[in-house]
Every structure is written in C-alpha cells, then in structure tokens.
Amino acid sequence: MSNILELNKGESLSVTLNPVSRMDLIKYAGASGDFNPIHTIDEEAEKAGLPGIIAHGMWTMGNLAKLFTPYFEEGFIQDYQIRFSGMVFLSDVITLKAELQNKTVEYMDFDVKAINQKGREVIKGKVRFAIY
C-alpha cells in the first residue's frame, strides 16, 4: 500500500512480527521505564502466578501503531483506543491488523487488533486516522 487514502472499506493493513523474545521485552522495559519484573524475570512472573514472563501490554500497543507510521504525510493518529484482552508470552507470533471501517474526507476509522498464533485476540480497539 503506497497510499493509505486508497484503502477501501473492509480492506486491511497487516503485518506479522517475529516471535516475541526476552530481548524485545528487556528493550521495551528500558525504553519505557516500565521495569515491572513480570515482563523480564521468570521467577517473578511465576511468583505472580503466571506460567512465564508476559509482554507489556504497551509493547503490543506500541507495535500495533506502526501499521500507520508510513502514512504520517497523509494524516496522523488522532485517536487510539485499546483494550487489553489477553496475555502475550515468549515465542508467541503476533499478527497486527487494522481494518478500515469507515472513511470520510476528514478521517478514516479502523478496527485494530493483535492476535496470537492461535488466532486469539490479545489487544483490540480503534484508530481514527485524521486526514490532512
């Protein structure tokens, strides 16, 4: 897609990420300042009752926004709303998706989500891309 404005209702932007690695989460912890150890240290995750470390919800939300980054000359993300609905574990393969729901001369509304390799939604929400 060279121009987001050419998307039609029902069409999508999508990308599948490399399997989630511990280094991804260590880097996000450092860059964001969120050092909650359930995201990086196995023992702490287990103490919290988890089967293993889980990704920061904001790591997944941050990743999902990149579907729109190539189009910041055409518009910008005016609204970005996410509900965290599932956990992301090490080695999960996450697919990011934005499906165009509605389009006017002023904005484009997308349903956005990230799903894991089992097809389960881990985050879900909406983006309003305002057009210049």
Applying CB under 8 A, which residues contact another protein?
Answer: 17, 24, 27-28, 30-34, 48, 57-59, 61-63, 65-66, 69-70, 72-73, 76-84, 132
Q: How far is the CB of 51 from another protein (least distance, A)?
A: 16
Beta-strand pair 75-84/121-131? antiparallel
| Both structure tokens of 68 | 């729109």
Q: Among residues 9 and 52, whose Cβ is nearest to another protein?
A: 52
Max Cα separation, the chain? 52
* Separation CA 76–CA 94 (nearest Å): 24
Q: Among residues 28 and 100, whose Cβ is nearest to another protein?
A: 28
Q: How far is the CB of 1 from another protein (least distance, A)?
A: 15
Task: Give the SS3 label for residue 69.
Answer: helix
Query: By the 8 A CB rule, do 42 and 53 touch?
Result: yes
Q: Among residues 7 and 45, whose Cβ is nearest to another protein?
A: 45
Q: Among residues 35 and 117, whose Cβ is nearest to another protein?
A: 35
Q: How far is the CB of 126 from another protein (least distance, A)?
A: 9
Query: By the 8 A CB rule, do 45 and 84 touch?
Result: no
